[in-house]
Structure 1
Amino acid sequence: MANTSSAKKATRKIARRTIINKSRRSQMRGTVRNVEEAIAKGDRDAALQAMANCEPALMRAAQRNIIHKNTASRKVSRLTHQIAKLAK
């Protein structure tokens, strides 16, 4: 348990940030799931529309250190590649 007042405050801050980060992470995962579902259905138009929401959400999460920037770039790249394969 925290002994100093500054350590107690840090604990409170971490708890507040954890709630916010969990919310942002689940929102980001939801956008990725929407793209993956559209790809699974084979609906290219829906996948492109979902990707338009997904890419900014991933980059925003990377910017706010919820995920690593390379992870965000990798996810965008792989989803874009899968959508491109639907066109063929």
Structure 2
Amino acid sequence: MPNTKSAIKRNRVDKKKRIRNKMIGSAVKTVCRNAILSIESQNKEEAIKDIRIAESKLDKAVAKGLIHRNKAARKKSRLMKKYNSIE
């Protein structure tokens, strides 16, 4: 149990940040999953649209410090690699 006013505020702020980070992380996972599903469905137009959305979400997560930029680059690279493998 926090004793000082600053510790109480830290708990309050940390809770808000944790909720925000969880929402952003969940959204990133969802759009990446949607991109993979559209790639697997062999629909190139829908797949490239979903990949662009996923790339945007990943870049925003990096800008907010939620994930490392190399992890985002790796995910984007793997999505494009899967996309390029469909014919």
TM-score by length of 2: 0.92
For the aligned residue pairs, the C-alpha RMSD in angstroms reads 1.0
Deviations 1:24-68 (A, max 9, x none): 111111110110101121222211010111101001001111111
Q: Which consecutive unaligned segments of at least 5 residues does structure 2 have?
A: none
Q: Give the match for residue 13 of structure 1.
A: 13
Q: Which consecutive unaligned segments of at least 5 residues does structure 1 have?
A: none
- Superposition pairs for residues 26-65 of structure 1, below 5 Å? 26-65=26-65
Supply the AA of the counterpart residue of 2:42: G
- Give yes or no for the alignment of 1:71 onto 2:50: no
Deviating 4+ runs (over 6 angstroms): none
Percent identity (aligned): 31
Figure out how many residues of one structure are paired with residues of the other and give that number: 87
